Structure 1
Amino acid sequence: MDKKLRWGVLGGMSWIARDAIMPGIRKSRNGQIVATASRDPAEARRRHGEEAGVRIMGYEELLSDPGVDAIYIPLPNSMHLEWAMKAAEARKPVLCEKPLGLNAAEVTAMFAAFERAGVPLMESFMYRFHPQHARVREIIDSGVIGEVLEVRAHLSNNMMSPPDPKNVRFIPELGGGVLLDMGCYVVSASRMIMQAEPMSIRGWQKMDSRFGVDVADGAVLEFPVGRMGVVSCSFETTGLGHYSVIGRHGMIEVPRALVLGLGSFAPEALIVTVDKNGRRTEELMPANDHYQLIVEAFGDAVLNGTPMPLSPQESINNARVLDAWALSIREGGDVKIAP
């Protein structure tokens, strides 16, 4: 494929853009960065310089630029809806950071706008593109652990020693809090493994009164035919991102499943399978840059006019679970999740 997708980054100074997605685009076989946007382009040039071949401009200018084929949005959660909608009006395909919206209503409205505009939108769940998850599925399908009855998923990063009040994750007005920031991952992982939608959820939450945001959350999910998911996320514990798949005859542990490794620093994948006799089999997979893999998959779909590898319904369903989790915390008890 000779043609490359010309990317514009709407807010290129965030860490996820600067250290993860933009390096992924640079390494990709089908993409290149041609522009980044800043609220103050002159200040951005002064502080960071200007990369050869990459123009720095304002947000609106980026959206209207005919030399930009697709937009990546890494802005704070509360800004996703506004700028995704403007990108849809400009008929630009968008890869947007998770969570796509603050709730399922926003996510649904965003996809409807992109459908009307005739351009694609996809949520940037990069972990889904790491080969280790396909291997986990192969092990499940082989039958070695039997019927899957439970999945447990956890993601955390210690941001409290000490906390940075300027971090968008601690600002309620910007969609801060661990439920949106990390809860979306553990819900996604549990649904991916179960290959089903949960029917109900019971949630728990720890708030930090200094910032007015949640810093630790947990929940139990009820899946069809008596299966269960246990999920948790935290800003208080250190850098863990894993899931376990518990079957009738054994289990699979994926200790690096949700680790947000960056580029060459991405850790090797490790999959541990335990059979019914307690025998352990460890598979070490080479490091793989899931940020590069997601931008390549997105780019292939845009360039070839094929469906996005993560569907609109996938994102809508994930947002519905997060909504129900939040509702369970507010009201207490189990909350049914709308199909």
Structure 2
Amino acid sequence: MPQQLRWGVMSTAGIGRMQVIPAIQGSTWGRVEVLASRDIEKARSVARELGIKRVTGSYQALLEDPDVDAVYIPLPNTLHADWTIRAAAVGKAVLCEKPLATSAADAARQIEACARHGVNLMEAFMYRFHPQTRRVQELIGSGVIGQVREVRAHLSVNIMRALDAGNIRYDARLGGGALLDMGCYSVSIARMAFGSEPRRVVGRMQIDAKMGVDTSSAGLLEFATGVALISGSFATDGGDIYTIVGTDGYIEVPRGIIPGYGTRAAEGLVIIVDPDGNRHEERIAPANQYRLMADAFAESVLNRRPVPLPPEDGLNNIKVLDALARSSANNAPEPV
């Protein structure tokens, strides 16, 4: 294994082009060796822009390339499982864009394949690597707000303002919809804050009749020691914010998921409020969470260690998302 992880990237998807590829190229432990796209001219253009040496018009050719150690998969959601399994079969480690899959059954197949072939698999939840999130976890662990009893988490970006019919988020066949695209973050935050899994959920999804996907979703998650209220939308511009309420105060994070965008490394902010209403603000040093994620993954692969965010976390997240979708369809609470 070389001193730097040699990455292959599947597709010229916006998340890769604008955020993950630049992060890898600027990271300590990796570089992008090959970019694959079915539109070879677009691949060449992106490769020139981002300093990638080689391109291919075939995802399979990328997997079979002996100079690629790991792949980043930002393909449409319904393709995550199959291409992860194909990558594992040829010995490539996989950083898979969120959500890990579109069903718990598919996520379990991914995990089994990667374990069987002895390769690392991690879901690309970049916010988990920002020092802001690490600080929130430290504060919860310290007991500064007592026992966590409630979480409120929201993420929305109004991408429908400039409606693009070709956007994969609007295609049910490709795993589109706000619950999988936005709600997955809110569910992840709630599970992280409680440090456990919800037992039962109630979900509501606002389905666009023409597109067949949810444009806004919300849910109530019942944990053994409290509840979480989560929501996500690509029809509103409510930003991203979460609040963790404990028996002795609460923590508020105004930009909890996207403190910075692209290659920008923005300052984080964590607000702690005690029972008397005293407010303490902690400024978190700027950091590129995508670069931190890429380096953490690369170090795990290079040193043959487990990844810091185990794939089972992604499986458990999908189990909750599955239950929320069932609840909305059945108009009834659902077990997780």
Q: Report Cα offsets for 1:26-46 as digits up to 9, x if no partner.
A: 111100111100113245326
Partner of 1:188: 188
State TM-score, norm by structure 2.
0.95
**Contact 2:35-2:43 at 8 Å conserved across structures:** no
In structure 2, give the amino acid aligned to 1:255.
Answer: P
What is the root-mean-square deviation of aligned Cα atoms in Å? 1.7
Does 2:145 match 1:145?
yes
Structure-2 residue corresponding to 1:251: 250
Partner in structure 1 of residue 120 of structure 2: 120
Aligned to 1:56: 55
Matched position secondary structure for 1:100: coil
Q: CA deviation at 1:140?
A: 2.3
Q: Which residue in the other structure is 2:69 paired with?
A: 69
Distance 2:207 2:301 in 1: 41
Cα distance per residue 1:161-209 (max 9 Å; x no partner): 1321111101111111011111111111100010010000001111112
Partners of 1:242 and 1:259 within 8 A in 2 = no
Q: Cα–Cα, structure 1 residues 326 and 52, in superposed 2: closer, same or farther, change >3 Å?
A: closer
Q: Is the 8 Å Cα contact of residues 5 and 303 (structure 1) preserved in structure 2? A: yes
The answer to whether the 8 A contact 1:10-1:75 is kept is: yes
For residues 249-284 of structure 1, give each alpha carbon's deviation from its aligned partner in whole angstroms, at most 9, with x where no partner exists. 211100111126324434311111110110000111
> In terms of mean alpha carbon deviation, does 23-32 or 239-248 score higher?
239-248
Aligned pair count reads: 335
Residue of structure 2 equivalent to 1:295: 294
Shift of 1:51: 5.7
Give the aligned residue type for 2:112: A
- Residue type of the alignment partner of 2:183: G
The normalised TM-score by structure 1 is 0.95
1:162 corresponds to:
162
Distance in structure 2 (CA, Å) of the matches to 1:48 and 1:2: 22
1:265 partner SS = coil
The C-alpha deviation readout for 1:47-93, integer Å capped at 9, x for no partner, is 76476552001211111000111100011111112211211111100
Secondary structure class of the residue paired with 1:161: helix
Structure 2, unmatched stretches of 5+, are none
1:106-146 deviation digits (Å, cap 9, x = unpaired): 00001111111111111111110011122112222333322
Q: 1:189-268 counterparts in 2 under 5 A? A: 189-225=189-225, 227-238=226-237, 240-259=239-258, 261-268=260-267
Cα 1:264–1:51, aligned 2, differ >3 Å: closer, same or farther?
A: closer
Taking the aligned partners of 1:43 and 1:162, their CA distance within structure 2 comes to 22
* Counterpart-to-counterpart distance in 1, 2:290 and 2:42: 28
Deviation of residue 320 (structure 1)? 0.6
CA contact (8 A) 1:6 1:69 kept: yes
Structure 1 residues without counterparts, runs of 5 or longer: none
Could you tell me how far 1:105 is from its partner in structure 2?
A: 0.1
Q: Is the 8 A contact 2:203 2:220 kept in 1?
A: yes
Name 1:336's counterpart in structure 2: 335
Amino acid at match of 2:37: S
Aligned residue runs from structure 1 range 10-21, under 5 A:
10-11=10-11, 13-21=12-20
Match of 2:320 in 1: 321
Amino acid at match of 2:176: G
Give percent identity, aligned residues only.
46
Runs of 4+ off more than 4 Å: 46-53
